[in-house]
Amino acid sequence: MGAHALPRQGSHPANARERPLGSASGAGVSRHTCTVFTCEVVLACHGDPAIPFARIESHLRELDGRFSRFRADSEVSALNAGAGTWCDISPELHRLLEHALNVAVASAGLINIAMLPWLLAAGYVSSDGQPAPGEQPTDPGGPVEPLTSVLELRRGQARLLPGHAVDVGGLAKGLWADDVVSWLGPNSAAGLGGDVSCRGPGPAGEGWPVALPAGGVVAVTDGAVATSGTAKRRWGDGMHHLIDPRTGRPSQSDITEATVIATSGAGADWLSSALVIGGTAAAGRLAARTEVRGWRLSMTKES
């Protein structure tokens, strides 16, 4: 397994430098932890939060319920059930779908929320990432159709082509991490599982310390860190949750894990997944994006 630190060519991550600063705690730092989205959520700020931690946690739980594809009563499930017709949607779902369309274009199709039928066929049918017993969903086969061909948006409404369904969970947490730091205050950090967004100079003025999965700490000022990989949510032989839309199957690229440092959680989130799905063949193009500050990649043994 190889680990690579690849800052943007010709520059160094000015606000994201690896330094062993320890955890985001200490004098003057308020912290709150909970479990939402089936992952650990950590909220931290210097001083008191602008909006109380309890209110933010409550809102995150509300978002989880409203937009989880695992809940039959969620807004996403209602949209999927109404495929083929125009469905009324909330402003937040419109924001998530619009973001997904923009990411689909920016990633050249590597990130496509319309992969849900393929994800279900691969066995990811429950929130714990384990295949459910009994009859499995039908495998649609072949590549996933481009999101821009499957999803239409207009004010207050969305329409999916018949037979298609979406899962916004893979893109939402990066956006919501950015939202949370804006609610916490001007010097804060929020970690939603593998998505961490930071605002301000951090507790000691040197950035917010974020631990990296492969070891080490990166200090982030006004930016974000996200990690995506194939090691978690894994089952069977080579089955995992990162679907390559080009094949309709779990990604088999030469990158098994990517940690991306970017200017926003929304950007770091999709870029980390795109690197794992696209592999080193897509790395040069993704590195050229202005929001990228740096990354660390874990490669397959053959690479």
CATH number at residue 236: 3.10.520.10
Share of the chain above pLDDT 90, in %: 66
Q: Does residue 61 sit in helix, strand or coil?
A: helix
DSSP 22: -
Nearest partner of 116 among 170, 42, 180, judged by Cα? 170
- Distance (Å, whole) CA 18 – CA 14: 11
Number of structural domains, the chain?
Answer: 1
Q: Which domain holds residue 246?
A: 3-299
The pLDDT value given to residue 107: 97
Furthest-apart CA atoms within the chain: distance in Å: 55
Residue matched to tokens 């205050």 = 185
pLDDT tens digit string along 162-184? 999 999 998 999 999 999 999 99
Q: Name 184's Cβ contacts closer than 8 Å, sequence gap at least 6.
A: 43, 44, 45, 49, 50, 51, 56, 190, 199
Q: pTM of this prediction? A: 0.86
pLDDT-flagged residues of the chain (< 70): 1-27, 123-137, 231-241, 301-303
The pLDDT value given to residue 236: 55
